[in-house]
Amino acid sequence: MAEEVRAEMVSTVLTVEVEVGEQVTVDQTLVLLESMKMEIPVITEVGGEVAAIAVTPGQVLQQGDLIAVVQ
């Protein structure tokens, strides 16, 4: 089963910490976001393989935008 990781708020992507095909563990940081001058790590709630990364550094996200898919 795949987990879609989505933005919880309007933010800007600072860094992408993983690559497609990489194995990740529970609570691993996928991307680092910035919102209201705060850095916010986006972590995965499941372990598995990164199937897709839908963001790039500098991209502005809206609430609910897809960030990544882990399966």
pLDDT in tens, the chain (71 residues): 789 999 999 999 999 999 999 999 999 999 999 999 999 999 999 999 999 999 999 999 999 999 999 99
- pLDDT for residue 24: 97
Counting Cβ atoms within 10 Å, is residue 54 exposed (0-12), middle (13-18) or buried (19+)? middle
Residue found under tokens 């372990």: 47
> What global pTM score does this model have?
0.92
